[in-house]
Structures are given as structure tokens and as C-alpha cells.
Amino acid sequence: MPTHFAPAPRSDADLLAANRSFYEPLWAEARLVPPERFNTWPLVRELAALSTRRLEIAPGLRPRLPLQDTCFVDLSTEALRKLRRQGASAVHGTIGALPYADAQFDLVCAFDILEHVADDHGALGELARVAAPGATLLLSVPLHIAAWTPFDEFVGHCRRYEPEHITALLARHGFHIEQSAIYGMQPKSSRLLEIGQWYLTHKRERAMWWYNRVFMPIAVRMQKPLQWRAGLGDTAGVDEILLVCRKT
């Protein structure tokens, strides 16, 4: 991946506008993909069976937790409408100001969200606040600033994390990494990402059609089982990682 790019400072307002402009049209044209279709399901099914107090933040139309008996929070009106249509409990909100009481959940999920907010300290503080003692946090983040590309900025990323940074940040808010797995469905080809970015910029409607009806179904079908390792593990060359954390 190119190494000469770096994220430019972005305000909360800029990030919010970028995320809305990218994801609201995406969810408007998308169908909900049930959580059973993702390679996270074996882990999620096991964890969900142990807890009926569950929260997933910003799932869009790709929820990983069961739709029944899970609380969902999202900014997208389209995503909320379609989640509710499937019987889910979904409310409008942000990771920086969760509309729930302290220590309310035993299982909290935030997939592909922390890198989208300017105040990640505040976001993790909110996750820690609503998580009960001993709760499990499922968190995925992109790694390595050297892997930054213009596509990160295009999809509303604020940063990529160095492994020691995310470890220290989680520890500061009372979370210990128990296990991890290489994660994500982003194409490895920088050329494909450039083509995708061009179409999303200049021919958005056509790009959304292809993404939702062709590329996303193929990506889901080609997922490999997650390979778990203790702690953070070796992150050399890893683009994105899924962390299973415990609130200590």
C-alpha cells in the first residue's frame, strides 16, 4: 500500500458531513444483510447466548448482533427505518453521546466506527460508561498509518491506529484485549479502490447499484472463518483487526 499519504485534521462537523454523504445514499439503496451471513456470527452467537443486554453502535444495514433483543444506535435515518422494519429496536444517536444509562449492557459492539470520530477518547469513554463490569466489547479498527490511502479519507476515516496506540487507549478506559482476529472485506488492490472511489464520486447511483447487488454479496460469500489468537497477536501487514475485549 502507498506510504506517502497521511490523514489531514478534520473537525467533528467535517467528519459527520463526510459520513452522512457517503453512508446515507448507500443505505438508501441497500438491503439489510442478516448477521448470520457474516464470519463474525459463530463468535457473536456464542456471546449473545450469554447476554440479553446487548448494544450495537452504527451497524448501518450490516448488523452483526441478532436483530431481536439487541439495542441498535445509528445516525442514518435510512438504516434506522430498515432495521425497525425487520423488528429491531433502533434509535437515533452517536457513539459520543449514547442514549442509555450507565452499566446497562453486557455485550457492546462497535464495528468500523471508532476511526470515524474525531474524539475517540470520548467515544471509548461512552462505551465504557454503558458497559457493565465484566462486559464484552467487540471492536474493529483499521491499523497502521503507513497504510493510509485517499480512500480512507473518502469513506470518512479520521485515523488508522498503531497497535500500541489502540491497546493503550482501550486500557485507559478499562478494557483488556482477550483475543483478536484479522478482519475486514476491503479489497487489497489499490487500483480497485481508486476505481471504486472514482465511480462513487462521478457515477454514484451506478456504483451503489453494483456495490449492493454484486460486490457486497460476493464479498460476503468469500469471507473466510476468523482465525483467533490470544491478545493482539502479530499485526504486521494487517489492514484491519477485530478485538474481543473485557471490561476490567
pLDDT (tens digit, 9 = 90+) per residue, 137-167?
999 999 999 999 877 887 788 899 999 999 9
In this structure, is residue 213 part of a structural domain?
Answer: no
Extract the C-alpha cell encoding 42. Answer: 459463530
What is the C-alpha separation between 143 and 163, in angstroms, rounded?
7
For 216-244, how does the pLDDT look when each residue is reduced to its tens digit (9 = 90+)? 777 788 889 999 999 999 999 999 999 99
Burial class of 22 by CB neighbour count within 10 A (0 to 12, 13 to 18, 19+): middle
In this structure, is residue 215 part of a structural domain?
Answer: no
In this structure, is residue 151 part of a structural domain?
Answer: yes
Q: pTM here?
A: 0.85
CATH number of the structural domain spanning residue 54: 3.40.50.150
In this structure, is residue 86 part of a structural domain?
Answer: yes
In this structure, is residue 3 part of a structural domain?
Answer: no
Cβ contact 244:177 at 8 Å = yes
Q: What local confidence, expressed as pLDDT, does residue 215 receive?
A: 72
Q: What local confidence, expressed as pLDDT, does residue 162 receive?
A: 97
Is residue 46 helix, strand or coil? helix
Q: Return all residues near 136 (Cβ < 8 A) that are at least 6 apart.
A: 47, 51, 106, 107, 108, 244, 245, 246, 247
Could you say which residues of the chain have pLDDT below 70?
A: 1-21, 185-202, 204, 210
Count of structural domains within the chain: 1
Q: Among candidates 79, 239, 214, 78, which has minimal Cα distance to 152?
A: 239
**Domain containing residue 123:** 12-186+225-247
Looking up cell 456470527 gives: 41
In this structure, is residue 219 part of a structural domain?
Answer: no
Q: What local confidence, expressed as pLDDT, does residue 195 receive?
A: 64
